[in-house]
Structure 1
Amino acid sequence: MRVHFIAIGGSAMHNLALALHQKGYTITGSDDEIFEPSRTRLEQKGILPSQMGWFPERITTDLDAVILGMHAREDNPELVRAKELGVKIYSYPEYLYEQTKNKCRIVVGGSHGKTSTTAMVMHVLRHANIKFDYMVGAQLDGFDTMVSLSDDAKYAVFEGDEYLTSPIDRRPKFHLYKPNIGLVTGIAWDHINVFPTFDFYVKQFEIFSDLVEDGGTFIYFGNDAHLSKIAANAKSTIKTEAYATHPYEIVDGICQLIAGDLRIPLKIFGEHNLQNIAGAKAICNAIGVSDNTFYNAIATFAGAAKRLQLLASNKSSNIYLDFAHSPSKLMATTKAVKEQFPNRKLVACMELHTFSSLNKDFLSEYNGTMSKADVAYVYFNPETIKHKQLPEINPDEVKASFGGNVEVFTESEKLIGVLRQQDYTNANLLIMTSGNFSGVDLKAFALEISNK
């Protein structure tokens, strides 16, 4: 099979390219810019484009498929050429479905927790020696790539992103996977640029439930009123199953699952992760994994990258990095750290970096989301707002939207300076961002703080 990737350098795209290369396909690709780690990983496998740019002459009728990434534009010259020649064009999620349409597809969606829940299922299945294909939105310990495809696996486990499929397909990605087992962790408004109203956003999850294959199962967090309504109105050809937060307790700073008389110590913590564990268990049970196998495996799960990732620590403080950027994620992550370490001061800082978070009409959704922090900082870069062509916002508007004791910065150097001056004796630092605070080496900064 000969497959060409338009915009091969993306996080998801380059992982799919690596997975198909591993499968023995002949892979080519183009992009106008490729950053690390994509560049090195593609180069190591000999599939890094020799020069940057778009080259329509690379598109020929010898290709079996073209896979189109979100980074490409609708008028991309390679895309135009593929259409002219009638070469089969797939989006990223379309091709994943094409590769797994004869397998049992397990798809985890939701506004928050989908990466962690998907990672938990993958961890348990590997522990149970069950072969599976997968796609997940973070690098996980023990997995070389974020995508893996095979000819003989019975199951495929996908993280179901609700963002757009491709420049020429405005459907959410998770609408294309047609799951046999579909799980939704919760609904909290996000991606305002694509879903301008909350009702429209909720509708996407309703559609997802309708796309569960007949005879399949729709699993959902039962304490979410919107999901409960969707489940109540689900089609009669599928089963619905609710789950709740798994019972737990914190003993000597260790989060433990409560399962009858058993107490299972975990390497992760936070009520949101206990919800994720319950969802992952429901999926695993649905395909025949026993409770005993699940608990033995989940006890060794250390989390996904940038999901309450411990960057550095000493005897009296921990520094965590979390991908949290939406209101629900901020609230859950801040609450988790404070609950786990109630006797430590919590210093929390977050970066407004996404389109939704920098949108003036969305800012009010952040009210109270950092209230569990003893010291709270918010950073945004005005240049990022200009780049996204959004209306300007000012620090006073951000402070009023968040409420409480939040202090707002627009220069990362000043924020880092203030963080350096904090006393971290018996205190934790929680860094929350989908970016890097305009170029800060967060790992090095965390080590600097812990060594003070």
Structure 2
Amino acid sequence: MQIHFIAIGGAAMHNLALALHHKGYIISGSDDAIFEPSKSRLQKAGLLPEAFGWFPEKITTDLDAVILGMHAKPDNPELLKAQELGVKIYSYPEFLYEQSKDKTRVVIGGSHGKTTITSMILHVLNYHEKEVDYMVGAQLEGFDTMVHLTDENDFIVLEGDEYLSSPIDRRPKFHLYQPNIALLSGIAWDHINVFPTYENYVEQFKIFVDSIVNGGILVYNEEDTELKKVVEASENPIRKNPYTTPVYEVEDGETLLETPEGPMPIEIFGKHNLSNLAGAKWVCQHMGIDEEDFYEAISTFSGASKRLEKIAENNDSVAYKDFAHSPSKVKATTQAVKEQYSDKHLLACLELHTYSSLNAEFLKEYEGALDAADEAVVFYSPDAVKIKQLDEVTESQIAEAFKRKDLKIFTNPEAFRGFLFTKEIKNTALLLMSSGNYGGLNFEGVQELF
């Protein structure tokens, strides 16, 4: 098959391109800019476009399909040419469904934890040499790509994102997969640029639950009250398996998980991650991994990339970076680090970077999110607010939203770096939370503080 990617440089798109190339498809693509690591990985595979930009002449009737990335605009010249010629156009999730129609589809959804849970499941399956197809939202240790597709594997494990499918397909991605086995970790309002009300956001999860195939299985976190309501109200004829946070304790900075064989040390930590583990265990059991084998494998899981990733450590201090940006994730991550390092001074830094987090109306959702920290810092770039064409956000609005009188607020990258790099790091747990990079913060420089 000949497949052309419009916006091939995206994290998900270039991984799908590599997976299909590996499968023997003929792949071409375009983009107006491609950054690392996508650029080097495409180049190595011989898939990097010769020039950046959009070239309608690349679209011909010889193509079997075009895959359209979210980065492209509805008036993209290549997209318009494909529509004119009648070439089949797929969104990213649509194409994954086409590739998995004859497989058992396992879809991991929820406002938070889906990348970690998907990573846990894949780690356990890989540990026990159980081959599956997959798509996950982070680069995993032991896996070459974030997407793997074959003709022969029986299962495919898909991270089920609730964001839009493509510029011309406004359905949430996870509505398209029709899972046989599904997991939902919780519901916490996000993506307000697409789902302007909480009710509208929750509705997407109702649709997802009803999209599970008849007789399928839903594993869900019953400690999340909104999710529990959604699942219990659904009349879809499926099996419903609730899970809760397992029993654990923290001793001398080590988390011990209670198992039938007694307390077991694990590398991950935090109530939210232990809850993620409980959900992953259920899914793995439905995929043929027994409980004892699950525990053996999960004890070696150190986390997904950018999810509570340890970046520095010395005798008395430690630093983590985390992808957390939504209010629920920030709160859970901050509490997790404080629980794990209760005897240390917790310095928690949050960059407000996403469309939702820089929205003046949405800011109030962050109330109490940094309360577990001994010292709390918020950084945001007024330029990012302008780029996203949002109303100006003021320091006083941020201070009021977080409801923390000693909150330090920085709007200048140099000032933030000056604060951080002149800090005496002693008996400290440093937590850097963002889906950005604090205006160009050099994380290797952070390591030198230790």
Per the alignment, residue 289 of structure 1 pairs with 289
**How far 1:235 moved relative to its partner?**
2.6
Deviations 1:281-304 (A, max 9, x none): 010111221001100000000101
Per the alignment, residue 425 of structure 2 pairs with 424
Give yes or no for contact 2:7–2:71 (8 Å, CA) kept in 1. Answer: yes
Matching residue's letter, 1:323: F
Q: How does 1:39-438 map to 2 (within 5 A)?
A: 39-404=39-404, 405-438=406-439
Q: Which moved more, 1:431-440 or 1:233-242?
A: 233-242
Deviations 1:50-101 (A, max 9, x none): 0011111111111111000001010111111111111110000000010011
- Following the alignment from structure 1 to structure 2, what is the Cα–Cα distance between the partners of residues 78 and 261? 58
**How far 1:446 moved relative to its partner?**
2.1
SS in 1 for 2:448: helix
Give yes or no for contact 2:69–2:92 (8 Å, CA) kept in 1. Answer: yes
Give yes or no for contact 2:217–2:240 (8 Å, CA) kept in 1. Answer: yes
Give yes or no for contact 2:178–2:213 (8 Å, CA) kept in 1. Answer: yes
**How far 1:236 moved relative to its partner?**
4.3
- Following the alignment from structure 2 to structure 1, what is the Cα–Cα distance between the partners of residues 81 and 310? 47
Matching residue's letter, 1:437: Y
Per the alignment, residue 15 of structure 2 pairs with 15
SS in 2 for 1:337: helix
Q: Which moved more, 1:319-328 or 1:257-266?
A: 257-266
**How far 1:425 moved relative to its partner?**
1.1
**TM-score (normalised: structure 2):** 0.99
SS in 1 for 2:328: helix
SS in 2 for 1:449: coil
**How far 1:191 moved relative to its partner?**
0.5
Matching residue's letter, 1:427: T
**How far 1:27 moved relative to its partner?**
0.3
- Following the alignment from structure 2 to structure 1, what is the Cα–Cα distance between the partners of residues 150 and 51? 30
- Following the alignment from structure 2 to structure 1, what is the Cα–Cα distance between the partners of residues 99 and 330? 35
Q: What is the RMSD of the two structures over their aligned residues, measured on CA atoms? A: 0.8
Give yes or no for contact 2:399–2:407 (8 Å, CA) kept in 1. Answer: yes
**How far 1:251 moved relative to its partner?**
2.1
SS in 1 for 2:134: strand
Give yes or no for contact 2:7–2:69 (8 Å, CA) kept in 1. Answer: yes
- Following the alignment from structure 2 to structure 1, what is the Cα–Cα distance between the partners of residues 231 and 393? 39
Matching residue's letter, 1:336: A
SS in 1 for 2:191: coil
- Following the alignment from structure 1 to structure 2, what is the Cα–Cα distance between the partners of residues 140 and 270? 20
- Following the alignment from structure 1 to structure 2, what is the Cα–Cα distance between the partners of residues 368 and 232? 29
SS in 1 for 2:360: coil
- Following the alignment from structure 2 to structure 1, what is the Cα–Cα distance between the partners of residues 36 and 259? 43
- Following the alignment from structure 1 to structure 2, what is the Cα–Cα distance between the partners of residues 236 and 267? 37
Matching residue's letter, 2:32: D
Q: Which moved more, 1:20-29 or 1:396-405?
A: 396-405
Q: How does 1:30-45 map to 2 (within 5 A)?
A: 30-45=30-45
Deviations 1:141-180 (A, max 9, x none): 0011111101111110011111010000111011111111
- Following the alignment from structure 2 to structure 1, what is the Cα–Cα distance between the partners of residues 286 and 247? 20
Matching residue's letter, 1:3: I
Deviations 1:85-132 (A, max 9, x none): 111100000000100111111111111100000000000111122110
**How far 1:422 moved relative to its partner?**
2.2
Give yes or no for contact 2:326–2:357 (8 Å, CA) kept in 1. Answer: yes
- Following the alignment from structure 2 to structure 1, what is the Cα–Cα distance between the partners of residues 393 and 440? 21
Matching residue's letter, 1:426: N
Count how many residue pairs are aligned between Structure 1 and Structure 2: 449
Deviations 1:264-318 (A, max 9, x none): 2111111100000000001011122100110000000010111000001101111
**How far 1:333 moved relative to its partner?**
0.3
Q: Which moved more, 1:226-235 or 1:280-289?
A: 226-235
Give yes or no for contact 2:210–2:236 (8 Å, CA) kept in 1. Answer: no
Deviations 1:187-222 (A, max 9, x none): 111111001010110110110000001110111100
Matching residue's letter, 2:346: L
- Following the alignment from structure 1 to structure 2, what is the Cα–Cα distance between the partners of residues 152 and 66? 24
- Following the alignment from structure 1 to structure 2, what is the Cα–Cα distance between the partners of residues 63 and 247? 54
**How far 1:243 moved relative to its partner?**
0.3
Long gaps (5+) in structure 1 = none
SS in 2 for 1:125: helix
Deviations 1:336-382 (A, max 9, x none): 00000101000010100000000001000001100010110000000
- Following the alignment from structure 1 to structure 2, what is the Cα–Cα distance between the partners of residues 110 and 445? 34
Matching residue's letter, 2:229: K
Sequence identity percentage: 56
SS in 1 for 2:9: coil
Give yes or no for contact 2:270–2:340 (8 Å, CA) kept in 1. Answer: yes
**How far 1:260 moved relative to its partner?**
2.7
- Following the alignment from structure 1 to structure 2, what is the Cα–Cα distance between the partners of residues 419 and 446? 8
- Following the alignment from structure 1 to structure 2, what is the Cα–Cα distance between the partners of residues 189 and 205? 11
- Following the alignment from structure 1 to structure 2, what is the Cα–Cα distance between the partners of residues 183 and 191? 20
Give yes or no for contact 2:209–2:236 (8 Å, CA) kept in 1. Answer: no
- Following the alignment from structure 1 to structure 2, what is the Cα–Cα distance between the partners of residues 406 and 152? 54
